[in-house]
């Protein structure tokens, strides 16, 4: 029996151009845009165009994409937050993930607390 098709996430719809976003960067592999509910003065999300669910759903075929995502997060973070920034990937329920499409949060523009909540 085949699985019922999953509904596209809001991020898949942003990738397809069906939902607008405040874009920061885009290439063939990823898209970066401002978070709609910012948790810091700078809060940008970097997502793969490929709809991978989370860091808990990756395998060797995703290595190049993940390296690219992290590199772009570093470049964007350094550009927007020269005094420092944090990159976070929430995964699964206990990880605080609310959108089931892998994404890196870039947070900055203020000192970050530790440990996170």
- Tell me the C-alpha distance between 117 and 101, whole Å: 22
Residue closer to ligand DGP by CB (options 36, 64) is: 36
Residue 43 annotated among the catalytic residues of the structure: no
Residue closer to ligand DGP by CB (options 15, 45) is: 45
Q: How far is the CB of 1 from ligand DGP (least distance, A)?
A: 30
- Tell me the C-alpha distance between 3 and 8, whole Å: 14
Q: How far is the CB of 45 from ligand DGP (least distance, A)?
A: 6
- Tell me the C-alpha distance between 81 and 88, whole Å: 15
- Tell me the C-alpha distance between 112 and 116, whole Å: 9
Binding site for ligand DGP (CB under 6 A): 10, 19, 21, 33, 35-37, 45, 90, 96-99
Catalytic site positions: 103
């Amino acid at each position: 029996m085949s699985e019922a098709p999953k509904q596209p996430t809001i991020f898949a719809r942003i990738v397809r151009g069906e939902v607008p976003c405040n874009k920061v960067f885009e290439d063939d592999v990823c898209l970066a845009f401002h978070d709609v509910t910012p948790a810091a003065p700078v809060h940008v999300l970097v997502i793969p165009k490929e709809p991978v669910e989370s860091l808990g759903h990756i395998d060797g075929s995703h290595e190049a994409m993940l390296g690219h995502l992290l590199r772009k997060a570093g470049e964007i973070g350094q550009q927007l937050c020269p005094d420092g920034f944090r990159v976070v990937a929430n995964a699964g329920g206990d990880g605080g993930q609310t959108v089931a499409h892998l994404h890196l949060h870039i947070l900055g523009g203020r000192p970050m607390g530790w440990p996170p909540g």
